[in-house]
Structure 1
């Protein structure tokens, strides 16, 4: 079964997710910027098979930055799962920020 979750910053899974995106997308990684992003991973039998990053912005504006899936691992299905999970994370952040603002008023 494929499992999706946010990684703990600077954890082994965090770096596995970043390196997967680097290798699959053949892109340079700016580790300074990565520290500002949330990293989501997809695992199957404890192996990282997909990764996505969310750039947190001001005023509840977050974006899905990069999604990568290991080739040969049902890429489109896992990519869609990562995208949907990222959207849920972003929506939960917006709700939490809104409720914090209401409590502060």
Structure 2
């Protein structure tokens, strides 16, 4: 993986993982540590990427309300509000819509 800061290819995989179990890397050129999400739209999310995509996909595909989606994931142990669903939809719906054809 190339470093998102200096674009060097001299990176090493570290054994330490993030709280959400994402792989971390170390760049020997700029001496920075980063993970799989660094430099992407998903960088500061506090939820796993697959959960966010599933929320947005269900919201777009099945026309569920914001509160319905939040409640469905609450039953599965993922706690977030309908406002979070709205933010994720605004941020990631174009990515999901580009990759799926209905």
TM-score (norm 1): 0.30
Superposition TM-score, scaled by structure 2 size = 0.30
Tell me which of the two structures has the higher relative contact order, counting C-alpha pairs closer than 8 angstroms and 6 or more residues apart.
Answer: 1
